[in-house]
Amino acid sequence: MRAEIRNIVAKTLKDIGADGRIDDLIASPYHPWLLTYVEYEDGGTGCGSCSAVFRGMEYGSGGMIGEIKALDLLGRDARGVIGELMEMEGTLYNAMALSTLSALSYRFMNREHLEREGFNVVERPISEGLFGREIGRSGGRLISKEDVVAVVGFAYWTFPYLISQVKELRCLELLDAELFQTLSLKGREPRVRVYNDPGCLEDADVVFITGMTLPNETLPEVLKHCRNARVRVLYGPSCSFYPSRLLRLVDGVYAIKIPVEEEVKLHIMDSRCVYQYSCPKTRIVEVWNEEAALS
């Protein structure tokens, strides 16, 4: 794990001070998300999730599952597991460390606790898919018709909610540009251009950054290129741990809090790690440092 990301994880572990053991881990090669469950020392349960793109987008039929099983994590000390995973190379292990960190953070990721810690918080049920309507709605407080807005990561579900509110909407994605070619027999072109060069962030006014930049270790580079942005926001399951260290780097975090009930867990397994994004009990926890961001 890259030194900057390891530093965020280690200091967050110190901030939360929670202990627990690995109670379960759910993963499927079909979707790039995994979920870790921990049992706290007092018997409570926490759940965390992270994007777990395994060797690019090539999961293989059993490679991801085999590598997770080989670690023999069940019942082990969660802090110790995070420490071991941080020393291993690869996005999969980074994702497991971050999902476990989010699981240990679970009981602290609520409005009451975060406001007590001095953060500004909006907490509400998830409403549509992952973050489509939520980013469009809350993003409307941050953007104007004169803004160039960039989304890091191909968060296609947000584009319809943002495109009409801004001067220009861009997307930065590391995948091959050919994957985003779009055919129109009438010769029309998508209004959102996908870039492979982080230079597209240099003149952006507002930047939404996928939490996947943590497990794939690209966040430090992304932040270098959007220093001039008025607002920078991290979003998604991969950045849904206690946000004190993240909010020293960005202005806001859109975290996700997944219910720990057994029935929800079974639905998540049935759906191959997708149900949590449409579950009516799932919460979005929007955390800011500045009061102005919530006005």
The H or E element containing residue 45 is strand 45-51
The pLDDT tens digits for 237-257 are 999 999 999 999 999 999 999
Residue 265, pLDDT > 70, answer yes
Contacts of 270 (CB under 8 A, 6+ apart): none
Q: Which of 213, 207, 239 is nearest to 226 (CA)?
A: 207
Domain boundaries defined on the chain: 3-108, 111-294
pLDDT band at residue 145 under the 50/70/90 scheme: very high
Residue 133, pLDDT > 60, answer yes
- Provide the residue type at 127 as one letter: S
pLDDT band at residue 273 under the 50/70/90 scheme: very high
Residue 117, pLDDT > 80, answer yes
The pLDDT tens digits for 153-210 are 998 888 988 898 899 999 999 888 888 999 999 999 999 999 999 999 999 999 999 9
- pLDDT computed for residue 114 by the predictor: 96
Mean per-residue pLDDT of the chain: 90
Give exposure, 241-257, as e/b (b: 16+ Cβ within 10 Å). bbbbbbbeebbbbbbbb
Lowest mean pLDDT segment, chosen from 14-23, 130-139, 149-158, 202-211 = 130-139
Angstrom distance (rounded) from CA 119 to CA 112: 10
- List, edge to edge, every strand of the sheet that includes 20-27: 20-27, 33-40, 45-51
Q: What is the DSSP letter of 230?
A: S
Domain 3-108: CATH class, spelled out: alpha beta
Are the C-beta atoms of 288 and 120 separated by less than 8 Å?
A: yes
- pLDDT computed for residue 137 by the predictor: 66
Q: Which of 284, 287, 153 is nearest to 208 (CA)?
A: 153
CATH number of 111-294: 3.40.50.11590
- Provide the residue type at 169 as one letter: L
Instruction: Note the pTM of the prediction, 2 decimals.
Output: 0.93
- pLDDT computed for residue 126 by the predictor: 83
pLDDT band at residue 59 under the 50/70/90 scheme: very low
Q: Average pLDDT, stretch 214-228?
A: 96
- pLDDT computed for residue 290 by the predictor: 64
Residue 293, pLDDT > 70, answer no
Q: Average pLDDT, stretch 1-9?
A: 94
Burial of 108 (0-12, 13-18, 19+ CB in 10 A): buried
Residue 61, pLDDT > 50, answer no
Topology match between the domains 3-108 and 111-294: no
Two tokens at 286?
């929007």
Residue 294, pLDDT > 60, answer no
The H or E element containing residue 283 is strand 283-288
pLDDT band at residue 125 under the 50/70/90 scheme: confident
Q: How far from 127 is each of 166, 207, 219, 264, 280, CA to CA, in Å? A: 22, 22, 27, 16, 8
